[in-house]
Amino acid sequence: MAPPSQRRVVLTLGLAQTLAWASTYYLPAMLAAPMAADLGLATPMVFAAFSLALGVAALVGPRVGQAMDRWGGRAILAATSVLFAASLVALGHVQGLWSLLLAWCGLGLGIASGLYEAAFATVVRLYGQQARKAITGITLLAGFASTVGWPLTHWMQLHWGWRSTCWVWAGVHLVLCLPLYLSLPSDRQAPTPAPAPTAEPDGAPRPRLDLRTGLLALVFAASGFISSAMAAHLPALLQACGIAAGLALTVGMLMGPAQVAARLLEFSLLRHLPPLVNARLATVLHPVGAALLLLLGPPGALLFGVLHGAGNGMLTIARGTLPLQLFGPQGYGHRQGLLQGPARVAQALAPWLFGVALAQWQGQALWLSAALGLLSVAALLVLSRHMAKD
């Protein structure tokens, strides 16, 4: 049987993922302050609840990956739409710290099973080694999640309040995301290689924790830390480097288009290169941009925004394509859960740790993220040499 049309699958998953990211991961940026004021909490406590959600996602990620390998991504994504809706309804009803933490724990379970990793696993089950183009297409469309989500969430919060905003997003998951996921072709019977000798009793493959897995987890954790740190502290960091507030805002606005442009480049000119080559290019862009900013000051700020945004956009694709290139489609969901666990922990800790570094070192804190970027480059070089020996 011929595989289903990639175009339809990419459009379906891309739209659903845009809405899923907008209504969960990008929610605190717009709702943390009004939520904290209403609940009588400090705003950092709301972000701490979000960090808890990322920690929950890291903890359950491998199990969710195993479930995707067993039952297929479509079933997990559809179930997660219901989980997201229930958690957002609960978030809209919170009355204090403990109910806030509980609601974000529910959202954390959804983040583990309803964002990119599940979408990538779905297309890998459908298309196997030919899924790279589909992965790139999904990230290209969902790259507009913050562009769509932040203005919508801000508008709803201003007109209806933060509680009603959560409930509206819950309805979006039930009315739009759930039907979109259910319209996907079944991936339970997608052709996959025969189970390896290390398979578990139910036939699901059991990935080995070898050097390649460790190096790739390190790359994803370092890049996740950089991305989360920049998202939380970019305006303050730029001003600590002597950049005027207006220029800092312009730099921040450049990052989104740079991400999308880099994904378009990956989708067109760079798609014929091995994902490992593109990943090395992506990881080096942040350190280069950081060096330009620190050495040139304001003239290097715009270059930093473009280079960081482009690298971040390409690394999002690498999260899906590198495991496929290195390990193949067998056990893809479980392996993604293992690989993304450290990255989610790093993302959860980054706003706090980089904030401490920024307070202590001012603009020189950028050397920390640059060093992590160079560590990623080194890990990928070691990985390339290790693969060449195999």
Burial 252-264 (b: 16+ CB within 10 A, else e): bebbbbbbbbbbe
| CB 261 within 8 Å of CB 311 | no
pLDDT of residue 2: 58
List helix spans (H) across 28-173.
28-39, 43-71, 73-92, 97-114, 116-127, 132-142, 145-160, 162-172
- pLDDT > 90 in the chain, percent: 46
- Decide if pLDDT at 162 tops 80: yes
- Decide if pLDDT at 140 tops 50: yes
Distance between CA atoms of residues 19 and 24, nearest Å: 9
Candidate from 26-40, 59-73, 188-202, 329-343 with smallest mean pLDDT: 188-202
Give 212's contacts (C-beta < 8 A, 6+ positions apart).
326, 327, 383, 386, 387
pLDDT of residue 3: 66
Range among 254-268, 326-340, 351-365, 372-386 rated most confident? 372-386
- Decide if pLDDT at 1 tops 70: no
The answer to pTM > 0.75 is yes
Distance between CA atoms of residues 123 and 136, nearest Å: 11
pLDDT of residue 117: 85
- Which one, of 141, 134, 139, 130, lies nearest residue 184 by Cα? 134
Token pair, residue 117, equals 């990793």
Distance between CA atoms of residues 219 and 376, nearest Å: 5
- Which one, of 299, 308, 328, 182, lies nearest residue 256 by Cα? 308
| CB 267 within 8 Å of CB 137 | yes
End-to-end CA distance of the chain: 34
Q: Which long-range contacts (CB under 8 A, 24 or more apart) does 162-167 make?
A: 162/31, 162/34, 162/35, 162/38, 162/92, 163/92, 163/93, 164/92, 165/31, 165/92, 166/27, 166/31, 166/88, 166/89, 166/91, 166/92, 167/88, 167/89, 167/92
Residue 236's pLDDT band (boundaries 50, 70, 90)?
A: confident
Q: What is the mean pLDDT of the chain?
A: 87
Q: Is 59 exposed, middle or buried (0-12, 13-18, 19+ CB in 10 A)?
A: middle
Residue 247's pLDDT band (boundaries 50, 70, 90)?
A: confident
The number of CA neighbours under 13 Å toward the Cβ of 342 is 15
pLDDT of residue 36: 92
CA 134 vs. chain centroid, Å, equals 16
| CB 326 within 8 Å of CB 216 | yes
pLDDT of residue 54: 86
| CB 121 within 8 Å of CB 198 | no
Residue 99's pLDDT band (boundaries 50, 70, 90)?
A: very high
CA 371 vs. chain centroid, Å, equals 21
- Decide if pLDDT at 204 tops 60: no
Phi, psi of 95 (to 5 degrees): -120, -5
Residue 45's pLDDT band (boundaries 50, 70, 90)?
A: confident
| CB 291 within 8 Å of CB 370 | yes
pLDDT of residue 156: 96
Range among 92-101, 265-274, 313-322, 349-358 rated most confident? 92-101
Give Cα separations from 326 to 67, 97, 218, 287 (angstroms). Answer: 21, 43, 15, 25
Distance between CA atoms of residues 85 and 167, nearest Å: 8
- Decide if pLDDT at 209 tops 70: no
Tell me the pLDDT tens digit for each residue of 103-133: 999 999 999 999 988 899 899 988 888 888 8
| CB 52 within 8 Å of CB 97 | no
pLDDT of residue 301: 93
Candidate from 30-39, 111-120, 139-148, 167-176 with smallest mean pLDDT: 139-148
What's the maximum distance between 2 C-alpha atoms anywhere in the chain?
Answer: 61
